[in-house]
Amino acid sequence: MRYIRHNYKGFTLVELVLVLGIMGIVLTAVSSFLITNVTHFHRSDDQIETQYNAQVAMNEIIDNIIDAEKIESINFKDSVVYSGSPITVIEIVFKINNSKYFQVVYNTTNNSLRRGFGTSPTTITTNQFANNISDFKIGLIDTLNYPESKGIEIEMTSKVKEETTVLKNQVYFRNSE
C-alpha cells in the first residue's frame, strides 16, 4: 500500500498579511522616532551655529576695543537722537591710540560684520569676520554723548534659519581719558 504524503511548505496568505501588518506598525514607530531625532539634531546644530557666530564676533570686537581711548565716530542705522538704550549701528570707529583706529561695520544687506584697523579714521580697510548677524546694537555707558563715553554696551543678534541667539556685553575702555 502506498501512502500519499502531503508536503505543505510555505505560508498562507493570511500569515503573510498578518506579518506585513505587524512590520508596518513597527516600521512606522521606528521611522517617526528617527525623523524626530533628525529634526532635533538639525535644530541643535542651528543653535550651536548661532551661538558660535555671535560669540566669535563679540570676542573679536571686545578684544580690539577694550584698550580704546574713546569712540571716534558712530553712525546709527536710522537718523535718531540717542536716548540711552542700545540702537542699531551701521558703523563705529574707536580710537585705540594716536596712530591706531579700529572700525566695525554692520552690513544690513547680507547680515555680516566687517572690521579693520587703520592709522586714521579715513584709512581703515575692513574685512568680513562674522556672518548671520541679524542685528548689531550699541549703547553708551554713563553718557548720551559718544566722545565722553567710558565704555559701550553691545547687543548682538545672530540668526540661522529659525534659531536666534542674543548676546549682550558691556565693555569699559581701559585707556579712556
Q: What confidence tens digit (pLDDT) does each residue in 105-148 have? A: 999 999 999 999 999 999 999 999 999 999 999 999 888 888 88
From residue 169, give the alpha-carbon distance in Å to each of 15, 151, 153, 162: 67, 11, 6, 23
Look at residue 142 and give its three-state secondary structure: coil
In a domain, 31, yes or no: no
Tens of pLDDT, residue by residue over 72-94, are: 999 988 766 666 788 899 999 99
The pTM for the full model equals 0.79
The number of domains in the chain is 1
In a domain, 47, yes or no: yes
In a domain, 27, yes or no: no
Q: Which of 98, 48, 91 is nearest to 70 (CA)?
A: 98
| Predicted local distance difference test score (pLDDT) of residue 143 | 83
In a domain, 75, yes or no: yes
In a domain, 25, yes or no: no
Domain range holding 89?
A: 43-172
In a domain, 20, yes or no: no
Q: Is 29 exposed, middle or buried (0-12, 13-18, 19+ CB in 10 A)?
A: exposed
| Predicted local distance difference test score (pLDDT) of residue 59 | 95
Q: DSSP alpha helices (H): ranges in the chain?
A: 13-65
In a domain, 37, yes or no: no
Q: Which of 147, 143, 130 is nearest to 92 (CA)?
A: 147
